[in-house]
């Protein structure tokens, strides 16, 4: 009984407050709060996603142990293997796209 009566009072308060400026202010405030609550995780997610992508671009996996590390040194910090092989692999990607363009020109 208490729950239903409080619910009726709440709905009555909403009906009284909603057309008034105070009600509109509360609705705007709630909308702003909801917007902030929704936007902050999206913004944080976007920033962390961009950060992760930048980190992924800088990280080169080791061919020997498979551990990804930032490409500051030529040697893997975990197993000490030379990472120059993986660097040449990443450089060969634009070269393959160039060959694709040449074959497309040959067809025309």
Q: Which residues form the interface with Zn ion (CB under 5 A)?
A: 62, 64-65, 76, 78-79, 81
**Cβ closest to Zn ion, residue 45 vs residue 61:** 61
Q: How far is the CB of 63 from Zn ion (least distance, A)?
A: 7
Q: How far is the CB of 75 from Zn ion (least distance, A)?
A: 9
**How far apart (Å, rounded) are the C-alpha atoms in residues 43 and 104?**
41
Nearest to 39 by CA among 49, 31, 28: 31
**Cβ closest to Zn ion, residue 53 vs residue 85:** 85
Q: How far is the CB of 26 from Zn ion (least distance, A)?
A: 59
The string of DSSP letters for 6-60 reads HHHHHHHHHHHHTTSHHHHHHHHHHHHHHHHHHHHHHHHHHHHHHHHHHHHHHEE
**Cβ closest to Zn ion, residue 26 vs residue 64:** 64
**How far apart (Å, rounded) are the C-alpha atoms in residues 92 and 63?**
16
Q: How far is the CB of 51 from Zn ion (least distance, A)?
A: 24
**Cβ closest to Zn ion, residue 17 vs residue 64:** 64
């Amino acid at each position: 009984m208490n729950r239903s009566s409080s619910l009726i009072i709440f709905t009555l308060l909403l009906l009284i407050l909603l057309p008034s400026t105070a009600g509109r202010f509360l609705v705007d405030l709630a909308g702003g709060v909801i917007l902030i609550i929704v936007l902050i995780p999206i913004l944080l997610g976007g920033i962390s996603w961009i950060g992760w992508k930048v980190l992924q671009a800088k990280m080169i996996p080791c061919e020997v142990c498979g551990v990804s590390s930032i490409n500051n040194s030529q040697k893997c910090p975990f197993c000490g293997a030379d990472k120059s092989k993986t660097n040449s692999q990443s450089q060969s990607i634009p070269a393959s796209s160039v060959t694709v363009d040449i074959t497309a020109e040959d067809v025309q």
